[in-house]
Amino acid sequence: MTKIKADPDGPEAQTEACSGERTYQELLVNQNPIAQPLASRRLTRKLYKCIKKAVKQKQIRRGVKEVQKFVNKGEKGIMVLAGDTLPIEVYCHLPVMCEDRNLPYVYIPSKTDLGAAAGSKRPTCVIMVKRAGYTQDVCTEERPCEDTEDI
């Protein structure tokens, strides 16, 4: 008995190749109930670009412990949280900390995409971008979120 190799150009291979990149609407299915304000598709792209610029200039804080430590020390910046993180208890205290200190925060749909934008192979549930010139356009965008008026 010999094994028959699957055709690499068959329909199964094409569907697997397409399933690697998920659309914005598919990512919204796995959102937590506390993921508000959720960034629009356009703002999500801007945030990813902003994070990539900040990584190059070492202006980023990554992970719950590091972000919490620097927020407590009084550091200013934009907090980007992943909306598909489970369990919620891991990071549900961070939006309250942001509101107490008047820091802008926003949820994006995917923690894997957030980690990839930060240059990591691991998913990341929270990133804080330190305040700099390239974050101003993200903060002052006219309609940054779908459901709220401002981040």
User: Structural domain boundaries of the chain?
Assistant: 22-139
Residue with tokens 């949820």: 107
pLDDT score at 123: 93
15 token code pair: 């569907």
Distances in Å between the Cα of 58 and the Cα atoms of 4, 103, 131 are 51, 20, 12
Quote the pLDDT of residue 62. 93
Write down the pLDDT at residue 122.
Answer: 93
CATH number of 22-139: 3.30.1330.30
| Residues in CB range of 98: below 8 A, 6 or more apart | 71, 79, 104, 105
How confident is the model at residue 9, as a pLDDT? Answer: 52
Burial class of 64 by CB neighbour count within 10 A (0 to 12, 13 to 18, 19+): middle
Per-residue pLDDT of the chain (151 residues; tens, 9 = 90+): 566 655 555 544 433 333 357 788 888 888 888 888 999 999 999 999 999 999 999 999 999 999 999 999 999 999 999 998 888 899 999 999 999 999 999 999 999 999 999 999 999 999 999 976 555 555 555 334 443 334 4
